[in-house]
Structure 1
Amino acid sequence: MNSLEIKSYAKINLFLDIVGKREDGYHNILTIFQMISFHDNIKISIKNGKGIKVITSNKNIPDDDRNLAYKAALYFLIETKIYKGIEIRIKKNIPTGGGLGGGSSNASATLLGLNKLFKKPLDIKRLKEISEKIGSDCPFFLVGGTVLAEEKGNKFKEFLPTPKLYILVFYPGFEVKTEYAYKNFLNHLTKKNIDVSLIINAIKGKRDIEIGKYLYNAFEDGYFKEHKDIYQLFNILKNGKCLGGGVAGSGSCIYTIYRKKGDLLEDFNYLKNYGDVWIARTVSSSEYLKTFNLLEDELCRLLK
């Protein structure tokens, strides 16, 4: 096998709290990542010669070593001492600066894809160590599903069962840089007594209404105060059939969740008048990992 086509999935955060600032300048967080079916498409090919070539459908995204998929390929080749030419073609659907983790997902999907192409020279634990060098969200995109994580988002606390939900993802047409969100949106943060166990228990108990009730994102108040038009739009959606919703990551996308696909169609048609909107569903770890010939049982090693 000389090439492989894979899906590079987006994520939302069902829970995102800022715990404190770290000495290295980053922030410690407590979050529940959720992989969703909205995705980019990646084709990885082994070529004659040496070197890495990245081609993306979005000309605003760099194709050199600033690209996270390029970095992932470079780390993989160095770690495995494989001296081959690699071409990575990325058809971008996930918007940049939307809080959906598109770049991190591309990087981790590239790591997993290369590992499959070269017959799994690296185990999941070593892949995670490499992914941490690339980005804080990258480790999650190695495992998918529903994950409770802490520190920079790179340390897994628990793998949770994936709720069966449908999601609308709305992109308002502008980006939010993560650095900007931390600098500006958290100024509005009044520390709330948020208990993550409420949504964890709702997820484990398959209580969809409670999942919607206990969604939380610390960036949300600051984001909506700066973007009052999006807040008004979001409130209209919350008065409809959705179970709840919030800001994706640090923004700019917002999302709403639904129990059935039919429940979201009215909101989907409404949102199309204001920006780009996509229908998605939750993706479990087992569904994601089987693409790369990995078993869910291997994930227990990442909790140690």
Structure 2
Amino acid sequence: MYISEKAPAKINLTLDVLYKREDQYHEIEMVMTTVDLADRLEFYLLEEGTIEIVSENRFVPNDQRNLAYRAAKLLKDRYQVNKGVRIKIDKLIPVAAGLAGGSSDAAATLRGLNRLWDLRIPVSELAVLGSEVGSDVSFCVYNSTALAKGRGEKIIELPAPPQCWVVLAKPTQGVSTQSVYQSLQLDQLDHPDTEGMIQAINQSNYQGVCDRLKNVLEIVTLPKNPEVEQIKQQMKRSGADAVLMSGSGPTVFGLVQQQSRANRIYNSLRGFCEEVYVVRLLGTSTNT
């Protein structure tokens, strides 16, 4: 017996850092949505109580370093499940890209095992569990468009943004999320118009969404990673309506309404980096 789940990538339409909390985490506020670039996970029921991770991608660990493994163990321990699972991960989202690939896999694992083990846990409860695995997992459990607050665990669902094409480009150079946050000077931030973004989404105002794309982490990542800035400029020159770095980077995305223009941007980027994708905005839940 097995079931499958899609684990879509996320992009940040806004990312704001408000202050540093007493627990040393940063208080964040961000509007996120999903795109049609997804990992696929298959869950096979095991009668013995083991958790196995299987993937052909050499960058995907098969032990507790894997967020899907952690999510499965958390669910198994918390609800005292005797059965086990073999999780096969078909990895399409680039690793360490700022697209929440690992978090989305963990969220898909919570949803998938909820079905496979017949636990019947409400989505809201799965999202709370997800916050124990990683900061983006709660959002990824809902698998739609949302405002995330706190460390990312407080989720307010939003309608899908206006439909458009998204061009994603991931440079080869990686970025450490921890070092980005450590380097952030909170008194120097130009904060995004989060309420304006939410209003534009509610009104299905594509230009309003484009005008309000903003990520405060760019102030740290771009000077340290010239390739990211280079890709941003190339996307703009090639006709993207709006361009932004997702998460702490290094992936950059551009929004366009015409597929022909998306293809033109894609072709212009092939010389800059190997990992370039043209996908549709999802923005609505693919949960079953």
TM-score, normalized by length of structure 1? 0.89
Query: Corresponding residue for 1:23?
Result: 22
For 2:199 and 2:51, the matched residues in 1 are separated by 45
The alpha-carbon distance between structure 1 residues 197 and 125, as it changes in their structure 2 partners (threshold 3 A), is closer
Q: Does 1:149 align with 2:148?
A: yes
Deviation string, structure 1 residues 151-180 (Cα, Å, up to 9, x no partner): 111102342333212111101012212102
For 1:228 and 1:198, the matched residues in 2 are separated by 30
Query: Corresponding residue for 1:262?
Result: 260
CA-atom RMSD in angstroms: 1.7
CA contact (8 A) 1:144 1:283 kept: no
Query: Corresponding residue for 2:11?
Result: 12
Deviation at 1:204, TM superposition (A): 1.7
CA contact (8 A) 2:127 2:142 kept: no
Deviation string, structure 1 residues 258-297 (Cα, Å, up to 9, x no partner): 11222201110111222210112222334x12xx2xxxxx
For 2:152 and 2:63, the matched residues in 1 are separated by 26
Deviation string, structure 1 residues 32-85 (Cα, Å, up to 9, x no partner): 011111111211100232210011222233211121101111112223322112
Query: Corresponding residue for 1:299?
Result: none
Q: Identical aligned pairs, as a percentage?
A: 29
Alignment partner of 2:131: what SS?
helix
Runs of at least 5 residues in structure 1 that lack an aligned partner in the other structure? 293-304
Stretch of structure 1 that moved more, 29-38 or 57-66 = 57-66
CA contact (8 A) 2:170 2:250 kept: yes
Query: Corresponding residue for 1:98?
Result: 97
CA contact (8 A) 2:60 2:66 kept: yes
Query: Corresponding residue for 1:211?
Result: 209
Residue 227 (structure 2) aligned to one of 226, 229, 241:
229
Alignment partner of 2:261: what SS?
helix
Deviation at 1:5, TM superposition (A): 2.1
| Number of equivalenced pairs | 287
Query: Corresponding residue for 1:64?
Result: 63
CA contact (8 A) 1:189 1:222 kept: no
Greater helix proportion:
1
For 2:178 and 2:91, the matched residues in 1 are separated by 23
Query: Corresponding residue for 1:122?
Result: 121
Runs of at least 5 residues in structure 2 that lack an aligned partner in the other structure? none
The alpha-carbon distance between structure 1 residues 193 and 41, as it changes in their structure 2 partners (threshold 3 A), is closer
Query: Corresponding residue for 1:192?
Result: 190
Stretch of structure 1 that moved more, 197-206 or 106-115 = 197-206
CA contact (8 A) 1:148 1:160 kept: no
